[in-house]
Amino acid sequence: MKNGKIATLAIESSCDETAAAVVLEGREVLSNIISSQIEIHKQYGGVVPEIAARHHLENINAVVDRALEQADMSMEQVDMIGVTYGPGLVGALLIGLATAKAYAFASEKPLIGVHHIHGHICANYIEHPQLEPPFMALVVSGGHTNIVEVTDYNECRVLGGTRDDAVGEAYDKVARVLGLGYPGGPLIDRIAKEGNAHAVEFKRVFLEKDSLDFSFSGIKTGVLNYVNSEKQAGRETNTADVAASFQAAVLDVIVAKTVKAAVDMKKDKIVMAGGVAANSRLREMLAEECKKRRMALFCPSPILCTDNAAMIGCAAYYRYMAGDRDDLSLDAIPNLQL
Ligand code: KG4
Ligand code: ZN
């Protein structure tokens, strides 16, 4: 407890960010420490699981110490420990989980396992203190693309997901094809602003009628084929045009399906989450559609969009309030379902 408020120490290590945070009453962030490994993985063009796990192990204790220090808290004041236990890279998850268990055991505090995607959605409760369920959530990240109906703080139902690549993965792969670097999402976001989104008409993949699922694996090949055929014809590709056209093709589908889900399920709020929710064009397009339909749109600030532990602390708090507890047998589940 701090100032009479329930305090959560949260740990997140599902991919390449080692993160710890202290959150009061689920929404008040006292510290949110993120140690990013992007510079390390950049040279490989993507996250190398074994290297990620090793760096988590090296950094995690210092990151937790800093989170407590910045919050001006001792372990005794912590009421529970929240931790991501899936989905994610198994080696990476295990480091955060083992650390959380060790703190829980040593300090005799309850342990609460959090679903990473639930955490991403909860980032919105931190950003928007007035936000309450129900709403429709669009979760778009490097590992996930889901449309989720959120009916209560601890209750959600996945209505659609990707059948192959996640949208962030598609951004990263296309950025590589275009020689832009890693991670590709923010780079494509930036360069697409200078391009013509109608320069190349890449296929919009809607799948079966009424399906809320996605497929993004074809678009990478589409971009690759386009770049190669231009090269063979001796023409220079305009990177900004291709980036803008690729982005338009994936975002047209994402926006249409998210809005359809909200309309069909009679939701008047759409909430964005995950790394790709930081995308400026996606925000713009959804804002336009929401305005037309008098729906409210919520998105977290960029620091709460990408992986962080504050969002995990928020999700853990709502599980704790519902009486949920985990024990030290809690295991990392790389493909945990929501
Ligand atoms: O949520 P996140 O930090 O990690 C996962 O759980 O996957 O998301 C990372 C993903 C990467 O694929 C990155 O390229 C993408 O989010 N991303 C973006 C933007 N910022 C990050 N994609 C598009 N536009 C952005 N501005
Ligand atoms: Zn994530």
Length of the chain: 338
In a domain, 331, yes or no: no
The pLDDT value given to residue 40: 87
Cα dihedral 218, 223, 224, 229, rounded to 10, equals: 120
Give Cβ neighbours of residue 251 (< 8 Å, ≥ 6 apart).
279, 281, 282, 285
Given CA atoms 1, 102, 19, 81 in this order, what sign does their dihedral have? negative
Q: Are residues 269 and 314 in the same domain?
A: no
> Concatenated DSSP letters for 174-229?
HHHHTT--SSHHHHHHHHHTTS-TTSS-PPP---STT---B--HHHHHHHHHHHHH
What is the Å distance from ligand 2's center to 219 Cα?
22
How many domains does the chain fold into?
2
Q: Which atom of ligand 1 is nearest to the CA of 142?
A: 7
How far is Cα 321 from Cα 88, in angstroms, rounded to an integer?
Answer: 25
Tokens of 226: 């386009």
Residue owning the nearest CA to atom 21 of ligand 1: 275
In a domain, 327, yes or no: no
Cis peptide upstream of residue 183 (ω within 30 degrees of 0) = yes
Q: Are residues 51 and 89 in the same domain?
A: yes
Amino acid at 224: L
Q: Are residues 195 and 287 in the same domain?
A: yes
In a domain, 294, yes or no: yes
Q: Are residues 142 and 288 in the same domain?
A: yes
Q: Are residues 247 and 204 in the same domain?
A: yes
The H or E element that residue 9 is part of is strand 7-12
Q: Are residues 32 and 114 in the same domain?
A: yes
In a domain, 169, yes or no: yes
**Per residue in 97-132, is it b (16+ CB within 10 Å) or e — as a string?**
bbbbbebbeeeebbbbbbbbbbbbbbbbbbbbeebe
The pLDDT value given to residue 42: 85
The H or E element that residue 245 is part of is helix 239-264
Nearest C-alpha neighbor of 299 from the set 275, 319, 317? 275
In a domain, 338, yes or no: no
In a domain, 195, yes or no: yes
Q: Are 279 and 287 in contact (CB under 8 A)?
A: no
| Binding site membership of 278 for ligand 1 (Cβ less than 6 Å) | yes
Q: Are residues 100 and 241 in the same domain?
A: no
Q: Are residues 139 and 269 in the same domain?
A: yes
- 253: containing domain: 133-300
Q: Are residues 310 and 272 in the same domain?
A: no
Q: Is 256 exposed, middle or buried (0-12, 13-18, 19+ CB in 10 A)?
A: middle
Question: Parallel, antiparallel, or unpaired for β 135-140 and 145-152?
Answer: antiparallel
Q: Which atom of ligand 1 is nearest to the CA of 88?
A: 6
The pLDDT value given to residue 182: 87
Ligand nearest to the CA of 187: 1
pLDDT digit string, tens, across residues 33-67: 999 888 888 888 888 898 888 999 999 999 999 99
Q: Which atom of ligand 1 is nearest to the CA of 172?
A: 14
What is the Å distance from ligand 2's center to 232 Cα?
38
Q: How many CB atoms lie within 10 A of CB 314?
A: 30
Q: Are residues 98 and 196 in the same domain?
A: no
Residue ranges, the chain, pLDDT below 50 = none
Ligand nearest to the CA of 16: 1
Please name every residue paired with 138 in a beta bridge, in sequence order, or none if there are none.
147, 272
Nearest C-alpha neighbor of 118 from the set 257, 12, 45? 12
What is the Å distance from ligand 1's center to 235 Cα?
31
In a domain, 333, yes or no: no
| Binding site membership of 172 for ligand 1 (Cβ less than 6 Å) | yes
**Phi, psi (deg, nearest 5) at residue 221:** -65, -40
Q: Are residues 141 and 285 in the same domain?
A: yes
Q: Are residues 144 and 281 in the same domain?
A: yes
Give Cβ neighbours of residue 194 (< 8 Å, ≥ 6 apart).
240, 244
**Phi, psi (deg, nearest 5) at residue 160:** -165, 155
Cis peptide upstream of residue 87 (ω within 30 degrees of 0) = yes
Q: What is the CATH number of the domain that holds 201?
A: 3.30.420.40
The pLDDT value given to residue 63: 98
What does DSSP assign to residue 43? T
Q: Which atom of ligand 1 is nearest to the CA of 16?
A: 4
Q: How many CB atoms lie within 10 A of CB 90?
A: 16
In a domain, 227, yes or no: yes
> Concatenated DSSP letters for 44-83?
TTS--HHHHHHHHHHHHHHHHHHHHHHTT--GGG--EEEE
